[in-house]
Chain A
Amino acid sequence: MGAVFAGRRLMAEAYRISGVGRLDEAQPVGFTFDGKSYGGSAGDTLASALLANGVHLVGRSFKYHRPRGIVSAGAEEPNALVGLHRDAARKTPNVRATVQELYNGLAAVSQNRWPSLGFDVGAVNDLASPLFPAGFYYKTFMWPKSAWTSLYEPRIRAAAGLGVAPDKPDPDRYSARYAHCEVLVVGGGAAGIAAALAAAQSGVRVILADEQAQPGGAMRFERGAVIDGQAGWDWTQEAVARLARMDNVRLLTRTTAFGYYAQNFVALAERVSDHLAEPGDLPRERLWQVRAKKVVLATGAIERHMVFDGNDRPGVMLASAARTYLNHYGVAVGRHVGVYTANDSAYAAAIDLKRAGVGIAAIVDWRDNPRGGVVEEARALGIEVLHGRGVATTGGRRRIASMTVVPKAGGGGRVVPVDALLMSSGWTPSLHLFSQSRGKVAFDAVGQRFLPGTYAQDCICVGAGNGTDDLATSLREAFAAGEKAAREAGGDGGDKVSRPRVEASESWAGGMLGAGPGAGSGTTVKAFVDYQNDVTAKDIRLAVKEGMHSIEHVKRFTTTGMATDQGKTSNLHGLAIAADALKKEIPEVGLTTFRAPYTPVTFGAMVNHARGPLFEPTRQTAMHGWHEDHGAVFEDVGQWKRPWYYPRPGEDMRAAVARECRTVRAAAGIFDASTLGKIEVVGPDAVRFMELLYTNPWAKLAPGRCRYGVMLREDGFLYDDGVVGRLAEDRFHVTTTTGGAPRVLHHMEDYLQTEFPHLDVWLTSTTEQWAVIAVQGPKAREIVAPLVEGIDLTDEAMPHMSVREGTICGVPARLFRMSFTGERGYEINVPADYGEAVWEAVWAEGEKHGACAYGTETMHVLRAEKGFIIVGQDTDGTVTPDDAGLGWATGKKKSDFVGIRGLKRPDLVASGRKQLVGLKTKDPQTVLEEGAQIVADPDEPVPMRMLGHVTSSYWSENCSRSIALALVADGRDRMGETLYVPMPDRTIAVEVTATVFFDEKGERVHG
């Protein structure tokens, strides 16, 4: 056949055997690999299509840059990692060619080679490999230490790694879904399908997840299976179609269960459109987070390779993979194929290939006397079986050309020409998810493998993943597990399905672990255990020799099993070689714990919707649009966007802030204070609760009046502050800092529920109920007055620190008279939906009086001019009210409040504590840096005794000089003293002063 792709007639797929396999040859698909055009068929993976074209060399290895081919036909692939380039932004590295489905126009590139795959300069590492033993980097790049970050690490990182990460933002969309079910079945092989059928018939919700495009598992290659009178594959497809029609079943294909977390929470990655030439509006991937009452793990088994010199040459692959390529994809992996096995299952591959007309050079069997059906069948087909022998090495450059067969007992070798070599040392049950679920594995000494031992969660392993080798037993076990899981999860039966009957099957028993005769101790021998990380048998022996006696140390020293394939094919070999070198039994050496993810998961799937504007909620006040329209520069305060300052044309930040600061004190300023936390404390015991949560006394605060409240933690340190208005005997309107709103409510609720549950009082957050417009300055009353109804604004009727309810702009409002600037001030609280319109009305009035809008920077400067602290800036969790000069806010007659005992701790009453003071630089133009340290003697040798640090520092336009607040040891006893702030380029002399820099008598709030 041949397809037209990119305007060129493609060459026929020379290794595709017509009439074999399940693909539709009538649907040709064109693709490129390293720029060269090839043809494949719909349903191909990239690997099967490359093999159909006779391409085995697909990449270079990680460390030695050795030519590498396709080892497997599935998710365990350690070698055939390629880059996929859809367009300039869509470049995916390390895609397993064995998993990637072919689509028309797919463009793949090989990795880790320069200048080309055929000729790679980095391959010099291979020749120099005696110089790169295990632990090479640890041993070599130790000196000088400083060279590590500047020289060694960047070079090693540049030379190492496989693919190249994309350099543009990911344009694809990723989605996510939480799902719940009674039974989650992981793995859509025959066992998983049987379990899903059994569970689904009871009517409970079932999710069946399989990583392949078509479920079917090992039936993809096993030709010998017959179930319910059908070929194994046909049975699976019919059963899957039946499951797909059931309303209570969600069938997820191309979906990998990659993480098993607490309480049957399993994460699945669904590849939604990676297989499509035109993804359209579909997301690329979808993350499923599934909470299942019961989990059935039907994760199957993975075939292991044989460990011998040159076992990584392109053309050397797993026997089951070759069989999959033949039976499913109709592709012969060679014309002259050798087999090296310790296991019956490889015979089936040889037999299938032979029957398809492929030459089998020989079957080399490690076992001394293999017997049984497949062995006799192979012999009957005329295949030479060389038992009691091993493959010592292979020949060939970019593709295997020969294998050297030697007797196990020693003696001369025989070179057999081959163009592919199939291997099988047995099957490893996939315990990754079971292990992730915290289940404990148990060693099966007979089968020389680990099996599920003690379960930690409500799950059950079935089939090959449970070590059940026989298909009939597997299906019986899986069906029973599905039925039981559904029953226990509340399923009460529905249309019964009959238990599948297995009429014929194959057996996979037998095998070996560790290295064969080709993996000797010579320095040039490379018998790979871990293909992806280029770890050889010799490396593992060396690790043991150098004192690594735990598998955890061997693993980290050699990096075996630490690549993205997680050692799916290599872990048991590595363990067996280490155990052999240590002369211990395998269970004594231990098995490393499997970690999520089972296969690599994209960051896109993990992040899914949480990108751009959805990365984090951005909270905006009701007046945000006005601020934007008036040129505000915004500051992030937690999740809030707050206006920072409002520059006019030609103004920089300093000029804008200076103007705003001047204007507020000369006329008035309007400020959006909506983000301040607000909590309504309501109930007959409200005042008792306030007495307990704040240092201040509240009982005598009359309704309609306000007080500045100070809140401590149990340890006596300042936790939050804010103005509190008493609206009624049983109702307080509490304000908190912007950042403190959630934690203060939690703090209050915590004490209410645990310490003071006897109080009849309830707390409600009203932060977002009210939009808050602060009007501050000498003209504040003139600005507010025209808009207010039902409130007498005269000083007699509404003095500083009072609160009234009335209407403003016709809207029910709470009006506070309070000040964080030292000026006459009002804070208008109106229901949030009215906030912007009321703000506009206030602004219109303000303009008549020369007012400006001001932002958080001006607010900070103005409060610092008055010595008002900001909790979290002038305090740091180790500051008491007295330290901050707020001792007056503690009710002296109070017998209890949160923190009262903490305040009596010896350290908190000792002398020498850091106290909040003002600092004036001797040069009024110099503005200190916040955080700068303060010393008494600038000439003292380092380390100097540090007295404290600057907490707030600004240019004060109103004082025509710089001002600062600082925490200084015994600060209040140092008034007038000269201290020093050493900076990298100079030392700044400062005078210790009171904290109030402007209107020291505090008269302006009243006038």
Chain B
Amino acid sequence: MAKAAKAVQTSAERRPKLAGRSLKAGNVTLTPAEPAARLALRAPQASIAALSKALGVTLPQTPKSSAVSKDGARTALWLGPDEWLIVAPDGTDLAGEAAGAGALHAAVDIAHRNAAILVEGAGAQACLAAGCPQDLSPAAFPVGAVSRTVFGKAEIVLVRTGEDAFRVEVWRSFADYAWTLLAEAARDAGQ
């Protein structure tokens, strides 16, 4: 019965949260990150080696750290002793790759759960310090450092991607709040 009407529409348009926004205030720029593949990966210690191999990136085991694949295309963020967030180019079948490891794990596709905001510039650290209570100085939070933390009233995953560059991963419905607070904080980040 339903088959006659097939193929009305073959592909829905993708409308990423924050698409089209950008902001430059003082010494801070805010840019929405490109859409990406994201995997919530949970696994016991015994599976780490196999999963690292299957995913092409060494799963970090040091708290608050991250690892980047050889080609630089994918990142594994340490969130807990058995928990990682894997970020890779949009469309990568991370769950499928993880399944190939043949090791005990749980993989859940969360590509659309998060939006990401790139916070860059000389004032980036001060901008984040408006809402994140952690010590974000390069000594305490060096390039590559990761933390699941708060920014104002939103939970975020914060990654330092460069001396003056951070990536803020935030749940989709909190992205507007995080962006707006970052934009407010950016006005004050030169002080």
Q: Describe A's contact surface by its main secondary structure.
A: mixed
Query: Which residues does chain B contribute within 8 Å of A809, judged by CB atoms?
Result: 9-12
Q: Is the CB of A180 within 8 A of B137?
A: yes
Q: Is the CB of A684 within 8 A of B104?
A: yes
Q: Is the CB of B110 within 8 A of A766?
A: yes
Q: Is A640 an interface residue (CB 8 A)?
A: yes
Proximity string of chain B (100-134) to chain A, C-beta cutoff 8 Å, 1 when within and 0 when not: 00001011111111100000000000100111111
- Of B82, B132, B153, B172, chain A has the most CB atoms within 10 Å of the CB of B172
Within the complex, what minimum Cβ distance (angstroms) separates B78 from chain A? 16
Q: Is the CB of B130 within 8 A of A682?
A: no
How extensive is the interface on chain B, given as a class? 35 or more
Q: Is the CB of A619 within 8 A of B137?
A: no
Q: Is B188 an interface residue (CB 8 A)?
A: yes
Using A609-B131, A833-B35, A837-B12 as known contacts, list a sample of 8 further A-B pairs with CB atoms less than 8 Å apart, ordered by residue number in A.
Answer: A175-B187, A291-B133, A613-B180, A616-B153, A617-B154, A683-B106, A787-B9, A793-B2
Q: Is the CB of A785 within 8 A of B153?
A: no
- How far is it, in angstroms, between the C-alpha of A640 and the C-alpha of B173 when the chains are bound? 9
Within the complex, what minimum Cβ distance (angstroms) separates B160 from chain A? 15
Query: Which residues does chain B contribute within 8 Å of A173, judged by CB atoms?
Result: 187
A-B contact pairs, 20 of them (CB 8 A): A180-B135, A286-B191, A617-B153, A617-B154, A617-B173, A618-B176, A620-B173, A622-B15, A682-B108, A762-B82, A762-B106, A769-B110, A770-B112, A781-B2, A782-B2, A793-B2, A809-B10, A831-B112, A832-B172, A837-B12
Proximity string of chain A (263-292) to chain B, C-beta cutoff 8 Å, 1 when within and 0 when not: 000000000100000000101001001010
Query: Which residues does chain A contribute within 8 Å of B5, judged by CB atoms?
Result: 785-786
Q: Is the CB of A177 within 8 A of B174?
A: no
Within the complex, what minimum Cβ distance (angstroms) separates A514 from chain B? 45
The one of A614, A784, A787 in contact with B180, judged by C-beta atoms closer than 8 angstroms, is A614
Q: Is A485 an interface residue (CB 8 A)?
A: no
Query: Which residues does chain B contribute within 8 Å of A770, judged by CB atoms?
Result: 112
Which A residue's beta carbon lies closest to that of B135? A180
Q: Is the CB of A769 within 8 A of B112?
A: yes
Which A residue's beta carbon lies closest to that of B19? A833
Q: Is A656 an interface residue (CB 8 A)?
A: no
Within the complex, what minimum Cβ distance (angstroms) separates B32 from chain A? 12
Q: Is B16 an interface residue (CB 8 A)?
A: yes
- Of B132, B180, B188, chain A has the most CB atoms within 10 Å of the CB of B188
Residues of A within 8 A of B (CB): 173, 175-180, 205, 272, 281, 283, 286, 289, 291, 609-610, 613-614, 616-622, 639-640, 680, 682-684, 760-762, 764-770, 781-782, 784-789, 793-794, 809-811, 830-834, 836-838, 841, 845
Q: Is B184 an interface residue (CB 8 A)?
A: yes
CB contact under 8 A between A768 and B113, given known A180-B135, A283-B188, A289-B133: yes
Q: Is B21 an interface residue (CB 8 A)?
A: no
Query: Which residues does chain A contribute within 8 Å of B176, judged by CB atoms?
Result: 618, 620
Q: Is B94 an interface residue (CB 8 A)?
A: no
Q: Is the CB of A179 within 8 A of B171?
A: no
Within the complex, what minimum Cβ distance (angstroms) separates B45 from chain A? 13
CB contact under 8 A between A786 and B113, given known A833-B14, A833-B16: no
Which B residue's beta carbon lies closest to that of A808? B12
- How far is it, in angstroms, between the C-alpha of A621 and the C-alpha of B172 when the chains are bound? 9
Query: Which residues does chain B contribute within 8 Å of A175, judged by CB atoms?
Result: 130, 184-185, 187-188
The one of B133, B174, B184, B191 in contact with A617, judged by C-beta atoms closer than 8 angstroms, is B174
The one of B13, B113, B177 in contact with A837, judged by C-beta atoms closer than 8 angstroms, is B13
- Of A176, A178, A680, A809, chain B has the most CB atoms within 10 Å of the CB of A178
Within the complex, what minimum Cβ distance (angstroms) separates A475 from chain B? 30
Query: Which residues does chain B contribute within 8 Å of A613, judged by CB atoms?
Result: 177, 180
Query: Which residues does chain A contribute within 8 Å of B180, judged by CB atoms?
Result: 613-614
Within the complex, what minimum Cβ distance (angstroms) separates B147 from chain A? 13
CB contact under 8 A between A768 and B42, given known A178-B132, A286-B191, A831-B112: no
Within the complex, what minimum Cβ distance (angstroms) separates A204 from chain B? 10
Which of B1-40 touch A at CB < 8 Å?
A: 1-3, 5-17, 35, 40
Within the complex, what minimum Cβ distance (angstroms) separates B18 from chain A? 11
Within the complex, what minimum Cβ distance (angstroms) separates B176 from chain A? 7
Q: Is B181 an interface residue (CB 8 A)?
A: yes
The one of A178, A782, A837 in contact with B133, judged by C-beta atoms closer than 8 angstroms, is A178
Within the complex, what minimum Cβ distance (angstroms) separates B133 from chain A? 5
Q: Is the CB of A831 within 8 A of B11?
A: no
Query: Which residues does chain A contribute within 8 Å of B107, judged by CB atoms?
Result: 682
- How far is it, in angstroms, between the C-alpha of A317 and the C-alpha of B83 when the chains are bound? 65
- How far is it, in angstroms, between the C-alpha of A781 and the C-alpha of B5 when the chains are bound? 12
Query: Which residues does chain A contribute within 8 Å of B2, judged by CB atoms?
Result: 781-782, 784-786, 788, 793
Q: Is B152 an interface residue (CB 8 A)?
A: yes
CB contact under 8 A between A841 and B173, given known A180-B135, A786-B2: no
- How far is it, in angstroms, between the C-alpha of A680 and the C-alpha of B109 when the chains are bound? 10
Q: Is the CB of B137 within 8 A of A205?
A: yes
Which A residue's beta carbon lies closest to that of B10? A810
Q: Is the CB of B152 within 8 A of A609?
A: yes
Query: Which residues does chain B contribute within 8 Å of A837, judged by CB atoms?
Result: 12-15
Q: Is the CB of A836 within 8 A of B110?
A: no
Which A residue's beta carbon lies closest to that of B8? A786
Q: Is the CB of A622 within 8 A of B106?
A: no
Q: Is the CB of A834 within 8 A of B14?
A: yes
Considering the complex of A and B, which 7 residue pairs feature the smallest CB-CB distances, nearest first? Answer: A785-B2, A810-B11, A619-B173, A762-B42, A837-B12, A786-B5, A682-B106
Q: Is the CB of A832 within 8 A of B112?
A: yes
The one of B9, B16, B42, B152 in contact with A610, judged by C-beta atoms closer than 8 angstroms, is B152
Query: Which residues does chain A contribute within 8 Å of B12, judged by CB atoms?
Result: 809-811, 830, 834, 837-838, 841
Query: Which residues does chain A contribute within 8 Å of B153, judged by CB atoms?
Result: 610, 616-617
Query: Which residues does chain B contribute within 8 Å of A831, judged by CB atoms?
Result: 111-112
- How far is it, in angstroms, between the C-alpha of A44 and the C-alpha of B36 when the chains are bound? 58
Query: Which residues does chain A contribute within 8 Å of B133, judged by CB atoms?
Result: 178, 289, 291
Within the complex, what minimum Cβ distance (angstroms) separates A285 from chain B? 11
